[in-house]
Amino acid sequence: MGKDGCSTCSCSLGCGGYTDKDDDFGLRSLPPNGEYEWGFRVNFWGSTLYFCNFWYLDNHGVFDVSRDTIDFLYECGGAHCIWKAKEDGIYLFHIPTKEDKKLHDWEKIKA
């Protein structure tokens, strides 16, 4: 999560790989402007996939944060993806244009 994400809020995230429970990074609580970063290598089969569940107040969002596809790598602007949680949704920072692109709205957590 980048420095412009969650600038006025605290949020939490849980991230992990789909195929290996050893790749579960656990729950992280981030303060305003907090960051969480990890690295990995794409496997031989090109099936490496990571997802995160983001929480902010009574909202959440679950989606893939890394996929080994040409389209996804283009959206990131390379192999380094920067996601930003903001008050109105989740953004992906496009490195070549230096712009945040909103990809996900928050979903209300059902009581």
Helix (H) or strand (E) holding 72, with range, is: helix 70-76
The tally of CA atoms less than 13 A away on the side-chain side of residue 95 is: 10
- Given a contact cutoff of 8 angstroms between Cβ atoms, the answer to whether 30 and 10 are in contact is yes
Q: pTM of the full predicted structure?
A: 0.71
**Using CA atoms, how far apart are residues 94 and 78, in angstroms rounded to an integer?**
9
Amino acid 1: pLDDT: 42
**Number of helical H runs and strand E runs in the chain:** 1, 8
Residue 70 pLDDT class (50, 70, 90 cuts): confident
Residue-wise pLDDT for 2-35, tens only, equals 444 444 444 555 555 555 555 667 777 777 777 7
Helix (H) or strand (E) holding 56, with range, is: strand 49-56
- Given a contact cutoff of 8 angstroms between Cβ atoms, the answer to whether 84 and 100 are in contact is yes
Amino acid 30: pLDDT: 75
